[in-house]
Each structure stands twice: as structure tokens, then as C-alpha cells.
Amino acid sequence: MEQVPRGSGTIELAVLLRFVDIAVDALAAAREEIDALNVYPVPDGDTGTNMYLTVAAARDAFRDAARDGSGHADLVTGLAGLRRGALLGARGNSGVILSQMLGAVATTIAGATTEERNASIMARALREATEGAYAAVGTPVEGTILTVIRAAAEAAEARAEQPGARARDVFTDAAAAAREALARTPDQLAVLRDAGVVDAGGRGLSVILDAAETVLTGRRPTPVTAPIGAHRIPIPTSGGEHPDLTPEGPAYEVMYLLDADDHHVRNLKQVLAGLGDSLVVVGGDGLWNVHVHTDEVGAAVEAGISAGRPHRIRVTHFAEQVEAARGRRTPTRKGRQVVAVAAGPGLEKLFEEGGATVVVGGPGNRPSTGMILEAIRACSAQEVIVLPNDADSVRAAEAAARTAEGDPAMYGDVRVAVIPTEAQVQGLAALAVHEPGRTFDQDVLEMTATARHARHGAVTVAARQAMTMAGPCEPGDILGVIAGDFAVVGSDLDTVAADVLERLLAGGGELVTIVGGEGSDELARRTAAGVEERHPHVDVMVYDGGQQRYPLLMSVE
């Protein structure tokens, strides 16, 4: 396993990759149980789902960022991706708090030196996660995920001080302390005691710490023995000591990402604190994730506008969400719909014209599991076909599909199939043969076969020095991509584009599709003219995709 000495102690990339995979799988398995525990701060039955989606987004971003395109892996870059992925993919109160914890852990590991022991690094990471989580919450409440992370951090620090302690020892003690703290949460919050449950967010965090222990020791910890999942949502609230637990509590959850200078955030927190509760603001370096429960949705969004630029605004009405959790408002679904990830405005238009529901994404801006899941929910179809159109987005799409099919109370009786398209042009080819009149299985089969038969390539510009399958490249070199691998290194866009297309056409073909990127209209037209001159029997279609990073996307069918 690769050790990365640069700013990471001796933490191994392979271990962290295995941890995020196991944590996501563990949360997926525990999601329904955690949802059923969700009585605080609002009994809306989504804590497990939100924590799962948050960690899945962090995992996907970590894996994507850790690869530099030349086959090498970089831990520090991957950790930066994990932090950003958690921030962008955070959902719900517990998800936003968890994103702050994950970001703090990633930052601590990335900044460690080779002189530090791994046990000390991980104990310090849990302490930073604890302090960051408490600082992010407007009004910290004990008996919640905050209590559980603090207990874990204290146990980790105590173990790390012992001579010869290793990271596995630190996480064994931290996970055990978290389970013990979780079992005590009903003694700290009356609403939990009245419902006979432990805290949902704390249970989710315990699952994550158990995953870390499993990775480092091979053991699967015994879960907390307090009553779990023995009731149905919603639990009638008992009044309690928190306004969210009363019928007079806020009616809406408001979340948005915010581009803002850090010094504007303090005033934003003060304004939002006066508009509602369950306030959590996490992030930094100009990007923030804002969460608040309020009756004044417009004022909450306007506060964000005053501080910077809010985007990806999400408003949830608790009454509707609780109804869905009861199962009395199962969404009604009918028909079939395609959900497609599009990497540029022109591609968005092409997919929309083909009848697809579009998720904005692509290299450098890949969608989270939550974004794809939201598109599945919003299209209201009983049968959904997802086209991720990017190799690194396939996993997020598959996670969204499993979540939607596994939660009929929230998403209805939906059937979801993911066609593992690895390029935008493959998605366009698949959508072209989509036929709702066929059976679902037959439609998926035909679309999958068409996507696989579409040989795809691209042209891009090297951003840094690297060793590729076609040899070394320097920043500014033109790279030709075939089936996801760098196959050509050159200095001229037209020459490399022609080379890529000739290689794609070597196996024959009747139709060439060329999608021009942002500002590459002329290049696309010149490339098409070259194909028509050299291969007069081949039809050529040219589209304006508007994608970034790739001046040309190409396919041959």
C-alpha cells in the first residue's frame, strides 16, 4: 500500500479509501434503522438517509480527487476533495454537522508531518472534528451527535497518550466510547427517553466510527444495545425543552450553499439565529453550507444574499416530509423517464430535447448522490433510467438508485436502472434509442448496447506535468483521449483531434458525433470537415456542448 509522506504523517491512502467505502456501505445498511430513530430535532425520518448521502458524496469526491489522470494517486489532493465533497453533498441537520467533522478530519490528516505518530494524528483529528462541530451549531444541545463525537475524541486522546499506542487502538477506544455515549443519550434528552430511542445522528456517527475500527482491526464491533428501530415515525413530541419539538416550532428547513467572504458569515449567523433554530453553518475559504429551521423562508434566503451568493437553495416543508415518512403520502409515480448528467449548457439542451431530466455535472463538477437522487424523486416516473455519462459518476448514480428503490415511503414504488455510460457522447447515443413503448428491461438493454457500441474519445489540454499511456506531457500539451485513456500527446488541437478520430474510425463506423466545448465551435467545424473529406461515406453530426476542460468530445457508431 502506498504511503504518502507529503503532509500526511504516514497515513496510507489505501486504508482511507477502504474506510470511506466501508463507511458508506455501513450507513447504507443502517439507513432505515437510523431514519426510524429520528425524533430530534424534527421527527421527519431522514437522518440516516441524509448522513448516508453526505458520506457517499465525500467518498466519491475523495476517490475522484485522489486520481490525477495519469494513474498516480495523491492523498493530500484526495483529502481536499473529500472535504469539498462532504461540504457540497451535505444534507439535513445531521449531514451538515457531519460534513464539518469530515472536513476537520481531512484537514488534520493532510496537515500532519512525518514526525507525528498516527495515533496522535487521529486523536487530534477527532478533537478538531469535535470543536468544529460545536462551533458550527448555533445552539449546541447535549444528547445528540455532538455528545457522541466529544466522548469519542476524549477516549481517543487518552489512548494516544499511552506509550506504543497505534491508530487502531485509538479508534477502538473512540468507537467504544461513542457507543457508550450513544446509549446514554436518552438520559440527556427527554424526547428521546419518551420515545424509547437513542439519538439518530449519534447512531449514524457511531456507525462511521465502527467502520474505522473494522478497517484497522478487522473486527466488527457489537452495536449499542439500547432500543433501536422499535417504533414507527413519527413519534408524538412531548413538548421538550427545544422549540423544534413543539407544534409551534418552525415549519420549514432551509438549506443553501453560499459563496461569501468569511468575515460576512458571523453577521449571517446572527441574522439567521433570529429567524429560527437548528442553525448550522459550516465551510470556509469562501464556500459555506447553510442550514436553518424557520418559518421565514424568504428572509433566510435574503440573509444569504446580503452575505454573498446563495445557490442550490433547498426548502423542505416538515409537514409534507412527516406525512411521507408516515407512509400516508407515498408519491404517485407513472411512466418512464431518463435522468442524464450533462457537462455543459449545450449538452443540457440536447438531453432536455431528448426528453431527459438533467442533472448538471461532469469532470470537475461531478454531481453528488443526493443531486441524482433528487432528480429521480422530482421526475415522478415509476421507471427511471439514469445516464451518469462519466466514469466517476457511475458509483454515485448506483447509490442513488439503491436509495430510491429502498425507500418507497419517500420515493414511491420506483424502479431505477443505471446504464454505466462513461462519456457524454455515450449518453447521447443511448438516449437516441430510448423508447418508452418497449418494456423497461428491453429499453434498458437496447440503450446499454448502443452506449457500449459507441466508441468515444475527446481532446483536452494538460494542466500539469504527468506520465500518460502515450508518454510524458507538460502543461499546455494537447491530449487525445480514447475510451478514457490518454492515447495521444501533441501540440496542435486540430492534429490531435484528427488522430483520435482516425483511431476511432479504424474499426469502421457510419456516424461520427462531434460535440464542441466552450469556445470551440470553429475547431468542431474544422474537425467535421476533415472527417467528411477523408471519409465521404460517413455521416457527421456537430453539436455545441459548451462543456469545460474538453474542447472536443467525439464518438463513432
pLDDT band, residue 210 (cuts 50/70/90): very high
pLDDT value at residue 247 = 47
Residue range 392-418: mean pLDDT, rounded: 84
Domain count, the chain: 4
Nearest to 81 by CA among 105, 98, 56, 64: 64
Q: Which of 292, 307, 326 represents a domain boundary (last residue)?
A: 326
SS3 assignment, position 105 = helix
SS3 assignment, position 314 = strand
440 is a domain residue = yes
Residue range 178-182: mean pLDDT, rounded: 93
Residue range 457-463: mean pLDDT, rounded: 92
pLDDT value at residue 175 = 93
Residues 31 and 125 both lie in one domain: yes
Evaluate the CA torsion angle 409, 407, 46, 175 in order and state its sign. positive
295 is a domain residue = yes
pLDDT value at residue 305 = 92
145 is a domain residue = yes
Residues 382 and 490 both lie in one domain: no
Residues 347 and 290 both lie in one domain: no
Range name among 78-82, 122-126, 377-381, 443-447 with the lowest pLDDT average: 377-381
CATH at 505 = 3.30.1180.10
324: CB partners within 8 A, 6+ apart: 330, 331, 409, 410
Residues 361 and 386 both lie in one domain: yes
pLDDT band, residue 125 (cuts 50/70/90): very high
CB atoms within 10 A of CB 312: 12
Residues 107 and 39 both lie in one domain: yes
Residue range 478-487: mean pLDDT, rounded: 91
Residues 428 and 463 both lie in one domain: no
Nearest to 555 by CA among 509, 522, 524, 523: 509
Residues 26 and 92 both lie in one domain: yes
Residue range 430-457: mean pLDDT, rounded: 91
- How do beta strands 309-317 and 287-294 pair? unpaired
SS3 assignment, position 87 = helix
pLDDT value at residue 243 = 40
Residue range 28-47: mean pLDDT, rounded: 78
Residues 195 and 139 both lie in one domain: yes
Residues 42 and 83 both lie in one domain: yes
pLDDT value at residue 405 = 84
At residue 430, what is the residue type?
A
Residue 538 pLDDT > 70:
yes
Residue range 80-100: mean pLDDT, rounded: 89
CB atoms within 10 A of CB 326: 15
Evaluate the CA torsion angle 409, 412, 415, 416 in order and state its sign. negative
SS3 assignment, position 432 = helix
Residue 227 pLDDT > 50:
no
CATH at 312 = 3.30.70.1150
Query: Both ends of the chain: CA-CA distance in Å?
Result: 40
* CB 429, CB 451: distance < 8 Å: yes
Please state, in angstroms and rounded to a whole number, the distance separating the CA atoms of residues 486 and 349: 28
Please state, in angstroms and rounded to a whole number, the distance separating the CA atoms of residues 149 and 205: 7
pTM, 2 dp: 0.63
Distances (CA, A) of 210 to 26, 56, 78, 202, 286: 9, 17, 22, 12, 33
pLDDT value at residue 323 = 55
Residue range 155-179: mean pLDDT, rounded: 93
Residue range 67-73: mean pLDDT, rounded: 51
pLDDT value at residue 239 = 39
Please state, in angstroms and rounded to a whole number, the distance separating the CA atoms of residues 489 and 481: 9
Residue 84 grid cell: 469539498
Instruction: Using a pLDDT cut of 90, give the percent of the chain over it.
Output: 43
Range name among 5-14, 240-249, 466-475 with the lowest pLDDT average: 240-249
237 is a domain residue = no
25 is a domain residue = yes
Residues 304 and 365 both lie in one domain: no
Omega prior to 41 cis, within 30 of 0: yes
Residue 316 pLDDT > 80:
no
pLDDT value at residue 226 = 44
CB atoms within 10 A of CB 147: 24
pLDDT value at residue 177 = 95
Residue 225 pLDDT > 70:
no
392 is a domain residue = yes
Say what angle helices 47-66 and 369-378 make with each other, to 10 degrees. 130
pLDDT band, residue 322 (cuts 50/70/90): low
Residue range 297-315: mean pLDDT, rounded: 88
Domain that holds residue 385: 336-453
pLDDT band, residue 105 (cuts 50/70/90): very high
Q: Exposed, middle or buried by CB within 10 Å (0-12, 13-18, 19+), for 330?
A: middle
CATH at 371 = 3.40.50.10440
Residues 552 and 540 both lie in one domain: yes
Residues 56 and 203 both lie in one domain: yes
pLDDT value at residue 45 = 67
Ramachandran region of residue 205, left (φ > 0), alpha (ψ -120 to 50) or beta? alpha
SS3 assignment, position 399 = helix
pLDDT value at residue 222 = 59
pLDDT band, residue 424 (cuts 50/70/90): very high
Residue range 37-47: mean pLDDT, rounded: 75
The single residue listed with the C-alpha cell 439503491 is 402
* CB 389, CB 366: distance < 8 Å: no
243 is a domain residue = no
Instruction: Using a pLDDT cut of 70, give the percent of the chain over it.
Output: 88
Residue range 192-221: mean pLDDT, rounded: 87
